[in-house]
Amino acid sequence: MSPVIFNRKRTVRTTITIVALLIIAFIVLLLSMNTGFTKMSPTEVLRTLFGGGTPRDNLILFEFRLPRIVIALLVGTGLAIAGAILQGVSRNALADPGILGINSGAGLAVVLFVVTNPMRESASPMFMPLLALVGGFAAAAIIYLMAYKKDKGISSSRLVLSGIALAAGINALMIVLTLQMDPNEFNFIATWQAGSIWGSSWKFVIALLPWIIVLLPAALWKARQLNVFSLGDDTATGLGSYLNKQRLLLLIIAVALSASCVAVSGGIGFIGLLGPHIARRLVGPRYEHVIPVSALIGAVLLLIADMVGRTLMENAEIPAGVMVAIIGGPYFLYLLARSRA
Amino acid sequence: MTRSTFVKGRQTSPKEEIWSRPYAALLIIIGGLVLLLAGLAFSVAKGSRQIPLDVVWQAIVAFNPANQDHQVIWELRLPRAIAGALVGAAFAVAGALMQGMTRNPLADPGLLGVNAGAGFMLALCFAFFPGMSFNQLIMFSFIGAAVSVVIVYGIGSIAKGGLTPVRLALAGSAVAAMLVALSEGIALYFRISQDLAFWYAGGVAGVTWSQVDILWPWIAGALIGALLLSRSITILSLGDDVASGLGQRTGLVRLGAVLVVMVLAGASVSTVGAIGFIGLMIPHAARALVGVDYKWVIPTSAILGALLLVFADTFGRLLNPPTEQPVSALIALIGVPYFFYVIRKKVGDNF
């Protein structure tokens, strides 16, 4: 089979997968709009969507449910792409912004802000992604420096282990910080940390959207570069400093994506792991296929997790992050048991 | 990644590989005990209320319930100091055992999710059986610790290539992330977040005599168990092949070591919450000082771990009185850089 035909086959397959995923996403979207504390029938939802709803229906759908759904979609997309990039760059199939400590760094910045600024209502939600970005980049820089040796470059094992160490340290610090809060602040942070999509208002959608709009095309555009990393060390050395620059750029995209998502959604782990892995199963290892597909899978997964978490129990919500961890944790361990790393 | 990247490929006989410095070890153990006594005295005397050392001495030899200083010493500071020493020793020895039996320089009860397992059980107990006695809590904490040890080691040993440091750390952090998320979910649902967090990060503050009374037999027993296992752990640390070649029943030794770790970590977490990094740092320091014979590594680790926790706790109280800095954060501040150092030194360069 010539490479060209092979590529065309792949492309066809990817297109079919993307269409199928879009249909699934649409169905989940409708389901998600129907379910919640107050039930709405599909016809009611449709009528409300097209402007014919009662004021009550309008309020529920447009002010409570839709922003939350949009955030779940955006965050799922962002985290899954970040995970795919990190896996490509680190050449470790188990890398994930949560495991690598980038989410913890972003989270620490947000918690520090809440602790030092009691007037957080005055802080615009636009500000949160910026803060998280600073934290995320600080964490990434520390991990990168720790994994880097002058004559030998970056090692994947060192990268992963430094990330784990940093995450453990930040979590210890975070527990201490949260203890000094008053119960109100504490509940806010605890809910946020567990990864509930708490920013269920359009303000947060607007805060997150620009980041995704800029970073998503950047990631798609750079996706091909990731294939080079999987070729191995010799090729990487051959390409030299060019590759180092690409690696840095990709890392920046990944960190910015995960940090801006964490600012809105809190600690949602494992999406960055699940998305790319399922995508690889579906469309093979090439990143120009993996990235768009994993973005869709991440969005659908988080939407389902949020929907289930919000309807499973009558009088309480299970944060989406907890739902994702319940599914993602065992899957991660399964992958780990099969991996050769 | 192959194991050879982590183990220096030196070809020596088992006898030569087990180098140790018994005199240095004895010196450290005896000197450490003396220093620990001084540290305990210092810890009892210092705090938001300064008490002269001679009053501390009087409070211990001739307790006078009418004296307020004596009350502070007996009811608040002494149980706290003793629990600190016990728990520090327990975490350090748990780390030493885990590092020895896995030949993995990064094994630590905190990083491998053992503490998270115990913490998860505690969240369950707080949610479903509020008002459970400390005695029962400890038991459940053991179960939680054991479950996560079994998962983490199980995953590590199923995988091809065995327990590499990266795989073990990944399994540990995934199990920890999962259990922490579950604990958070439970805590939010039952509205016990802050209670749980206080208890989980509370450190040694607020430890009572009744807790110490329950704690010390477990830890003392487990430490004796660790000492009894030390010879076998030394042999196991040379590798499975060597160990079975020398006629050791490696499975039995591992089981014993896991049971000891379970008691040490479970009892400690149920008393002071999750304090990470002691089990990582102290065994490294101990091996550097006294060699790789676990007969000496284990008692040295116990002494050094107790010293670290007692001094860190005292330091946390003196830093900015009358507020206290939690000991887990202080130890993490030393622990993270130390971890980075170990990673840079011990983890190979190949991708």
Q: What is the CATH number of the domain that holds A141?
A: 1.10.3470.10
**CA A88 – CA B191 distance, rounded (Å):** 40
Exposure of A159 in the CB half-sphere (CA atoms within 13 A): 24
Exposure of B324 in the CB half-sphere (CA atoms within 13 A): 18
Please state, for a pLDDT cut of 70, what percent of chain B lies above it.
90
Nearest to A56 by CA among A47, B133, B174, A129: A47
**CA A75 – CA A67 distance, rounded (Å):** 12
Q: Is the pLDDT of residue B202 over 80?
A: no
Nearest Cα residue in chain A from B151 = A333
**CA B225 – CA A131 distance, rounded (Å):** 49
> For residue A76, what pLDDT is reported?
92
**CA A28 – CA A40 distance, rounded (Å):** 15
The answer to whether residue B166 neighbours chain A at the CB level (below 8 Å) is: yes
Question: How does pLDDT run across A233-243, given as a tens digit for each residue?
Answer: 555 555 566 77
Inter-chain residue contact A191 with B188, CB threshold 8 Å: yes
Counting the structural domains of chain A, the total is 1
- What average pLDDT does this structure show over B121-138? 84
**CA A279 – CA B308 distance, rounded (Å):** 47
Inter-chain residue contact B165 with A168, CB threshold 8 Å: no
Q: E strands of B74-195, at which residues?
A: none
Most trustworthy range by pLDDT among A30-39, A317-326, B202-211: A317-326
- What interface predicted TM-score (ipTM) does this complex get? 0.77
Contact B116, B273 (CB under 8 A): no
Most trustworthy range by pLDDT among A192-206, B44-58, B272-286, B302-316: B302-316
Inter-chain residue contact A195 with B333, CB threshold 8 Å: no
Range of the domain at B195: 21-346
Nearest Cα residue in chain A from B192 = A187
The residues with which A153 forms a beta bridge, in sequence order, are: A149
Torsion of CA B198, B303, B260, B177, to 10 degrees: 40
How does residue B5 score in pLDDT terms, banded at 50, 70 and 90?
very low
Contact B305, B282 (CB under 8 A): yes
Residue scoring higher pLDDT (A151 or A235) = A151
Average per-residue pLDDT in chain B?
Answer: 81
Residue scoring higher pLDDT (B212 or A187) = B212
> For residue B6, what pLDDT is reported?
41
Nearest to A321 by CA among A274, A286, A284, A276: A274
Q: Is the pLDDT of residue B300 over 90?
A: yes
Give the nearest partner residue to B170 out of A99, A193, A313, using CB atoms.
Answer: A99
Inter-chain residue contact A168 with B276, CB threshold 8 Å: yes
Please state, for a pLDDT cut of 90, what percent of chain B lies above it.
13
Nearest to A166 by CA among A107, A255, A87, A105: A105
Nearest to A195 by CA among A241, A104, A262: A262
Question: How does pLDDT run across A8-58, given as a tens digit for each residue?
Answer: 777 888 888 888 889 988 888 888 877 766 677 777 777 777 777 777 777
How does residue B228 score in pLDDT terms, banded at 50, 70 and 90?
very high
If one counts every other C-beta atom within 10 angstroms of the C-beta of residue B16, the result is 9
Q: Is the pLDDT of residue A155 over 80?
A: no
- What average pLDDT does this structure show over B34-45? 85
Q: Is the pLDDT of residue B9 over 60?
A: no
Q: How many residues make up chain B in this entry?
A: 351
Q: What is the CATH number of the domain that holds B91?
A: 1.10.3470.10
> Is B36 within the bounds of a domain?
yes
Residue numbers in B near A101 (CB within 8 A): none
Question: How does pLDDT run across B246-265, given as a tens digit for each residue?
Answer: 877 777 888 888 889 889 98
The alpha carbon of residue B142 is apart from the nearest alpha carbon of chain A, in Å, by 22
Q: Is the pLDDT of residue A299 over 90?
A: yes
Contact B183, B196 (CB under 8 A): yes
> For residue A293, what pLDDT is reported?
92
> For residue A1, what pLDDT is reported?
42
Residue scoring higher pLDDT (B200 or B313) = B313
- Which of A115, A146, A161 to probe the B interface (max B CBs under 10 A)? A161
Out of A222-236, A253-267, B254-268, B326-340, least confident range: A222-236
Most trustworthy range by pLDDT among A90-99, A113-122, A308-317, B173-182: B173-182
Out of A174-183, A293-302, B123-132, B138-147, least confident range: A174-183
How far, CA to CA in Å, does A333 sit from each of A135, A340, B69, B168, B255? Answer: 28, 13, 53, 11, 22
Return the sign of the alpha-carbon dihedral for residues B251, B254, B260, B266.
negative
**CA A262 – CA A102 distance, rounded (Å):** 9
> For residue A2, what pLDDT is reported?
46
Most trustworthy range by pLDDT among A199-208, A301-310, A314-323: A301-310
Counting the structural domains of chain B, the total is 1
Q: What are phi and psi of B192, to 5 degrees?
A: -120, 20
Inter-chain residue contact B185 with A318, CB threshold 8 Å: yes
Contact A110, A132 (CB under 8 A): yes
> Is B10 within the bounds of a domain?
no
> Is B5 within the bounds of a domain?
no
Q: What are phi and psi of A154, to 5 degrees?
A: -90, 135
Q: Is the pLDDT of residue A7 over 70?
A: no
Residue numbers in A near B172 (CB within 8 A): 164
SS3 A311: helix
> Is B14 within the bounds of a domain?
no
**CA A213 – CA B113 distance, rounded (Å):** 37
Nearest to A213 by CA among A268, A257, A250, A254: A257
Q: What is the DSSP string of B224-264?
A: HHHHHHHHHHHHHTT-HHHHHHTT--HHHHHHHHHHHHHHH
Out of A28-32, A140-144, B36-40, B68-72, least confident range: B68-72
Residue scoring higher pLDDT (A217 or B157) = A217
**CA B325 – CA B95 distance, rounded (Å):** 24
Nearest to B179 by CA among A209, A225, A332, A216: A332
Residue numbers in A near B165 (CB within 8 A): 157, 161
Average per-residue pLDDT in chain A?
Answer: 80
Range of the domain at A171: 3-338
Contact B79, B209 (CB under 8 A): yes
- Which of B1, B115, B173 to probe the A interface (max A CBs under 10 A)? B173
The alpha carbon of residue B324 is apart from the nearest alpha carbon of chain A, in Å, by 11
Q: Is the pLDDT of residue B191 over 80?
A: no
- What average pLDDT does this structure show over A191-205? 70
Return the sign of the alpha-carbon dihedral for residues B283, B287, B288, B290.
positive
> For residue A235, what pLDDT is reported?
57
- What average pLDDT does this structure show over B324-340? 84
Q: Is the pLDDT of residue A332 over 80?
A: yes
> For residue B226, what pLDDT is reported?
92
The residues with which A154 forms a beta bridge, in sequence order, are: A148
Most trustworthy range by pLDDT among A169-183, B131-145, B146-160: B131-145
The answer to whether residue A94 neighbours chain B at the CB level (below 8 Å) is: yes
> Is B324 within the bounds of a domain?
yes
> Is B1 within the bounds of a domain?
no
> Is B7 within the bounds of a domain?
no
**CA A86 – CA A95 distance, rounded (Å):** 6
**CA B210 – CA B134 distance, rounded (Å):** 9
> For residue B94, what pLDDT is reported?
93
Give the nearest partner residue to B336 out of A165, A183, A187, using CB atoms.
Answer: A165
The alpha carbon of residue A236 is apart from the nearest alpha carbon of chain B, in Å, by 11
Contact A199, A187 (CB under 8 A): no
